[in-house]
């Protein structure tokens, strides 16, 4: 059984093996620890000169990665907890993502920042957030998020191959998840299509005509899938499920095809509701598809509490998705 | 709180509290994360034996020991019950279960789990106290690893320029998570403060009395209005960074136990006093944990629900 963690880890191994320009940098990366979530495990043993364990200096990690990328290397930086992307914001927004366009396309900044995001582990207000929404729509930056569908490692390799800076968002709860195969387990009832290159999207089509379209990404696909099954089994409501791996820039073409059929859009994300991913998806969908109704399921606009019952009440749950789908 | 018994009792309270936490985590009664103060107890206990009860503290992720020692200096005394309740996510916790282990607030005590960011906040607090002529000083706790964060140096500059009543306590336990200080800190620790003209008191000891005397001088300097100071304490963390993440060798873990602040201080008490401290602490903690365990969990209020995603 391959997990998302295995897939990401072996992608880093193969990338370092095949490209001597690839460097990995971040906090506590050295073996035997191999990074806080073990995504970089084994790298420092095999490639000691190209794995740089850093001081606790997130801004300098990103700035250094940017400089390395400008001058011919391919850095992959790890931010230990995605919550700390606030500390790299200036380096990402005003440096890395700016240079290509500002310098008249004369330069490239091919770097990847990996950031484990997400809650549901009782880590409290500063170690549980999904802050990727703050980086959506930043010109010059791509935001990519794997799910348990497809090949997360291949997605990371595509991010590494990209000529522009990429924020690669890994939900912590995904790491231990097995990769999902079409036609197996709880995907058995759905037909799986995919497209989009190099950052694919997936469409899961139910066995009967869909009443609504659910759009999501990352770990929250696990919740959306559970909700879709419940809606199908218990309420005879069928959903098209659209799972994106490219969050920004927004390319929603595959969504519009489904919406033309259902005219009902439900977005699901773990970041806070206001001005989230779903807000932009909804705005673009409404501009494109006539007669559309929209619901958004997201975290409440609150910090994430440490106490589990409070954390559960703040973050979106399967029941919230089911209720929103039934409210159309 | 200057007598040897009180110093011992508070260090023991921290030690037993943290041991209890680790046990509760290993049996799954607690979830989330924690960073224990075991091995470093003499730092906070020495320092808070010479501060004023109304002084202000900004602590970091490793805050339980700071909190319990701060409490011991206050008229109310330490409150392991409210801390235990917070860690259990209960409504009666220090911040109602919202913050958990790294994010607490009580009287003039604050903590946050982001490295470095608390230092400019502490400098601002010191400016507020200075402007309001309260006579209070602000203590901010950082670890060796936090010397990596740039916000620290911006704040040292402000604190020195504006002669703020700020004491930076740097606890060098020689590791940041798994990273040894040699891989993370170039140059001199004291030199970092000296570059801003900030005087440094530096001790390589786990003896609470030696720490107390250094802290007394540093606190006096800051309280006198002479501007910020730094107290650098070289110490040892005995347990994992958080729970199971220790990559140090068994030999190293054994060797550093010779610097146990409890063992160093214990001979200054009679066996009967030590037994009395043990009995008192154990009764306090038994009561704290069982009371916290039966407390209710918090719920979202209707106010919060109006901000939510319901339609
Ligand atoms: C900005 C930021 N980066 C990284 C972390 C993750 N982290 C928490 S504690 C820690 C190590 C801190 O080391 P040190 O300052 O020496 O304190 P110690 O844990 O040794 O007490 C790290 C890397 C964090 N909380 N905040
Ligand atoms: Mg340390």
Distance from CA of A308 to the nearest CA of B (A): 7
Pick from B156, B149, B134, B126: nearest CA to B58: B126
Ligand 1 center to residue B193 CA distance, Å? 20
Q: What is the block-wise mean pLDDT of chain A (328 residues), using blocks of 10 residues?
A: 96 98 98 97 98 98 98 98 98 98 98 98 96 98 97 98 98 96 84 96 97 98 97 98 98 97 98 98 98 98 96 97 98
Counting the structural domains of chain B, the total is: 1
Residue B95's domain is classified under what CATH number? 3.40.50.970
Contact between chains at B149 and A296 (C-beta distance less than 8 A) = no
pLDDT-derived band at B301 (thresholds 50, 70, 90) equals confident
Name the region of A149 (left: φ>0; alpha: ψ -120 to 50; beta: rest): beta
Q: Give domain status of residue B303, yes or no.
A: no
Q: What's the mean pLDDT when you consider all of chain A? A: 97
CATH architecture of residue range(s) A185-326: 3-Layer(aba) Sandwich (3.40)
Nearest to A123 among B33, B96, B311 (CB): B33
Give residue limits of the domains in chain A: 4-174, 185-326
Ligand 1 center to residue B243 CA distance, Å? 14
Same topology, domains A4-174 and A185-326? Answer is: yes
Q: Give domain status of residue B146, yes or no.
A: yes
Which residues, in sequence order, are CB contacts of B143 under 8 Å at separation 6+?
A: B60, B62, B115, B170, B171, B172, B173, B176
Quickly list DSSP for B152-214: HHHHHHHHHHTT--EEEEEEE-SEETTEEGGGT--S-HHHHHHTTT--EEEEE---HHHHHHH
Query: Which protein residues have a CB closer than 5 Å to ligand 2 (ion)?
Result: B 143-145, 173, 176
Answer whether residue B310 shows pLDDT above 80: no
Answer whether residue B235 shows pLDDT above 50: yes
> Which H or E run contains B122?
helix B118-131
Question: For an interface test with B, which of A307, A316, A317, A321 has the most B Cβ atoms less than 10 Å from its Cβ?
Answer: A307
- What pLDDT digit, counting tens, does each position of B121-147 carry? 999 999 999 999 999 999 999 999 999
Q: What span, in angstroms and rounded, lies between the C-alpha atoms of A295 and A163?
A: 35
Strands, E assignment, B2-108: 56-59, 105-106
Q: SS3 letters for chain A?
A: CCEHHHHHHHHHHHHHHHCCCEEEEEECCCCCCCCCCCCCCCHHHHCHHHEEEECCCHHHHHHHHHHHHHCCCEEEEECCCHHHHHHHHHHHHHHHHHHHHHCCCCCCCCCEEEEEECCCCCCCCCCCCCHHHHHCCCCCCEEECCCCECCHHHHHHHHHHCCCCEEEEEEHHHCCCECECCCCHHHCCCEEEEECCCCCEEEEECCCCCCEEEEEECCHHHHHHHHHHHHHHHHCCCEEEEEECEEECCCCHHHHHHHHHHCEEEEEEEEECCCCHHHHHHHHHHHHCCCCEEEEEEECCCCCCCCHHHHHHHCCCHHHHHHHHHCC
pLDDT at A184: 81
Q: Which residues of B92-109 are buried (b: 16+ CB within 10 A; e: fewer)?
A: bbbbbbbbbbbbbebebb
Which residues, in sequence order, are CB contacts of A306 under 8 Å at separation 6+?
A: A122, A123, A124, A125, B32, B86, B89, B97, B98, B99, B100, B101, B103
pLDDT at B304: 54
| Bridge partners (DSSP) listed for residue A26 | A53, A78
pLDDT at B309: 43
Q: Give domain status of residue B304, yes or no.
A: no
Token pair for B247: 């990559």
Q: Give domain status of residue B144, yes or no.
A: yes
Under a CB-based contact definition with an 8 Å cutoff, are residues B123 and B186 in contact? no
Ligand 2 center to residue A93 CA distance, Å? 31
The whole-number average pLDDT for the span B280-291 is 97
**DSSP single-letter state for residue B78:** -
Distance from CA of A267 to the nearest CA of B (A): 11
Pick from B74, B25, B20: nearest CA to B48: B74
Q: Give domain status of residue B45, yes or no.
A: yes
The whole domain housing B229 covers 4-295
CATH architecture of residue range(s) A4-174: 3-Layer(aba) Sandwich (3.40)
Q: What is the ipTM of this complex?
A: 0.96
Contact between chains at B309 and A314 (C-beta distance less than 8 A) = no
- What pLDDT digit, counting tens, does each position of B150-159 carry? 999 999 999 9
Q: What span, in angstroms and rounded, lies between the C-alpha atoms of B302 and B289?
A: 30
Q: Give domain status of residue B18, yes or no.
A: yes
Nearest to A307 among B97, B145, B245 (CB): B97
Q: CB of B183 closer than 6 A to ligand 1?
A: no
* Residue located via tokens 């195969």: A181
Q: Give domain status of residue B308, yes or no.
A: no
Contact between chains at A27 and B179 (C-beta distance less than 8 A) = yes
**DSSP single-letter state for residue B266:** G
The whole-number average pLDDT for the span B197-203 is 98
Pick from A197, A217, A237, A208: nearest CA to A280: A217
Q: CB of B175 closer than 6 A to ligand 1?
A: yes
| DSSP-derived 3-state class of residue B58 | strand
The whole-number average pLDDT for the span B221-229 is 96
Ligand 2 center to residue B172 CA distance, Å? 5
Answer whether residue B111 shows pLDDT above 70: yes
Pick from B84, B83, B85, B81: nearest CA to B111: B83
Contact between chains at B32 and A54 (C-beta distance less than 8 A) = no
Q: Give domain status of residue B192, yes or no.
A: yes
pLDDT at B308: 43
ω into A32 cis (within 30 of 0)? yes
pLDDT-derived band at B302 (thresholds 50, 70, 90) equals low
């Amino acid at each position: 059984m391959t997990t998302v963690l295995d897939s990401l880890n072996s992608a880093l191994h193969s990338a370092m093996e095949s490209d001597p320009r690839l460097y990995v940098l971040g906090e506590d990366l050295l073996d035997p620890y191999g990074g806080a979530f073990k995504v970089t495990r084994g790298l420092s043993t095999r490639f000691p000169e190209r794995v740089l364990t850093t001081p606790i200096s997130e801004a300098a990690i990103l700035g250094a990665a940017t400089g390395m990328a400008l001058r011919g290397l391919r850095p992959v930086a790890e931010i230990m907890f995605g919550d700390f992307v606030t500390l790299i914001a200036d380096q990402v927004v005003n440096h890395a993502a700016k240079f290509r366009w500002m310098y008249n396309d004369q330069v490239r900044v091919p770097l990847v920042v990996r950031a484990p995001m997400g809650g549901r582990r009782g880590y409290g207000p500063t170690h549980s957030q999904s802050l990727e929404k703050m980086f959506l729509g930043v010109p010059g930056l791509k935001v990519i998020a794997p799910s348990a569908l497809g090949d997360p490692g291949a997605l990371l390799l595509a991010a590494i191959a990209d000529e522009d800076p990429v924020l690669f968002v890994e939900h912590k709860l995904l790491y231990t998840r097995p990769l999902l195969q079409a036609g197996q387990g709880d995907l058995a009832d759905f037909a799986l299509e995919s497209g989009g290159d190099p950052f694919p999207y997936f469409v899961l089509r139910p066995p009967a005509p869909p009443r609504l379209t659910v759009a999501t990404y990352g770990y929250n696909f696990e919740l959306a899938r559970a909700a879709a099954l419940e809606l199908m089994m218990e309420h005879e409501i069928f959903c098209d499920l659209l799972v994106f791996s490219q969050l920004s820039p927004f390319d929603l073409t595959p969504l519009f095809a489904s919406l033309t059929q259902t005219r009902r859009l439900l977005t699901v994300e773990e970041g806070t509701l206001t001005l989230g991913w779903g807000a932009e998806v909804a705005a673009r969908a409404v501009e494109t598809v006539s007669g559309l109704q929209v619901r958004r399921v997201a975290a409440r606009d609150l910090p994430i509490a440490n106490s589990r019952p409070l954390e559960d009440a703040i973050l979106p749950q399967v029941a919230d998705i089911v209720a929103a789908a039934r409210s159309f | 709180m200057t007598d040897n018994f009180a110093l011992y009792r508070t260090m023991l309270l921290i030690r037993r509290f943290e041991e209890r936490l680790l046990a509760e985590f290993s049996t799954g009664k607690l979830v989330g994360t924690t960073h224990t103060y075991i091995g470093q107890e003499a730092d906070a206990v020495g320092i808070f034996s010479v501060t004023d009860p109304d002084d202000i503290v900004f602590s970091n992720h490793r805050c339980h020991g700071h909190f319990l020692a701060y409490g011991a200096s206050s008229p109310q005394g330490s409150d392991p019950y409210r801390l235990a309740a917070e860690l259990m996510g209960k409504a009666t916790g220090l911040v109602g279960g919202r913050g958990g282990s790294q994010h607490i607030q009580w009287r003039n005590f604050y903590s946050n789990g982001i490295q470095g960011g608390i230092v400019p906040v502490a400098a601002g607090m010191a400016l507020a106290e200075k402007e309001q002529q309260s006579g209070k000083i602000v203590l901010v706790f950082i670890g060796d690893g936090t010397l990596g964060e740039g916000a620290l140096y911006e704040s040292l500059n402000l604190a020195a320029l504006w002669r703020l009543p700020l004491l930076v306590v740097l606890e060098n336990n020689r590791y940041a998570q798994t990273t040894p200080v040699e891989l993370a800190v170039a140059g001199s620790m004291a030199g970092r403060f000296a570059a801003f003209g900030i005087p440094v008191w530096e001790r390589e000891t786990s003896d609470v009395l030696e720490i107390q005397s250094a802290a007394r001088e540093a606190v006096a300097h800051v309280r006198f209005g002479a501007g910020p100071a730094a107290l650098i304490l070289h110490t040892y963390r005995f347990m994992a960074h958080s729970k199971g993440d220790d990559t140090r060798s068994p030999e190293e873990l054994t060797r550093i136990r010779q610097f146990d602040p409890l063992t160093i201080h214990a001979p200054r008490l009679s066996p009967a006093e030590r037994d009395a401290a043990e009995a008192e602490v154990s009764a306090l903690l038994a009561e704290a944990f069982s009371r916290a365990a039966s407390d209710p969990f918090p719920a979202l209020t209707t106010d919060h629900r109006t901000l939510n995603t319901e339609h």
